[in-house]
Amino acid sequence: MLSTHDRLLDAFRGSADAIVEKIRQAYEVNYDYYDPSIGHDAMTFGLMVYKSKVHFLSQLEEEHEDIKVLSRHPYFSMKVKNYRVSTYCAGHSDECDIQTAFPLNRTRASIITIHNEKQLRFPFVDHEEPDDSQCTEVIIADIGNHENGLMTHRSPKFGGKSQIALSSGDE
């Protein structure tokens, strides 16, 4: 049986760089619209980035045959091969530790994480390591802000324990 890491690398091969680029683009297009002089703050910027992530990531359905948008509202999710993928902003500063920042609220990301962690508590006969092969929800967490744009892009919490870098270019 392939490890979680190997299954994820296989599933995202060919689309990882495009996913990261769409997330980066969502940050960049909102720089010009962010205006603290009219009351914008990190939450405002985050909402604008989220809406843009939905827009740009949805374009991938037409560009990659292994990506399908499942839902745009009330939350965004897409399918990449056998994985249901969502996006989540885990913080706004390069001082933020993505391991401890994710997830800190009661959103869908937190619920998915709890379900994956429950899956890992099942007894696994003849296995030293828990079998997380049924944990097929992946949350792409990013850290960014209006000054620096996208700083970190990882999928932390697949199966409650694994991380993969989605882009091999700069990490």
Would the pTM of this model clear 0.85, i.e. be above it?
no
> In angstroms, what CA-CA distances link 66 with 29, 80, 96?
26, 6, 32
Q: Does pLDDT of 45 surpass 70?
A: yes
Q: Whose CA is closest to 23, among 56, 68, 62?
A: 56
pLDDT category at 29 given cuts 50, 70, 90 is very high
Q: Across the chain, what does the average pLDDT equal?
A: 75
**Residue 121 exposed, middle or buried by CB count within 10 Å (0-12, 13-18, 19+):** exposed
Q: For 111-154, how does the pLDDT look when each residue is reduced to its tens digit (9 = 90+)?
A: 555 555 555 555 555 656 655 566 677 878 788 888 888 886 55
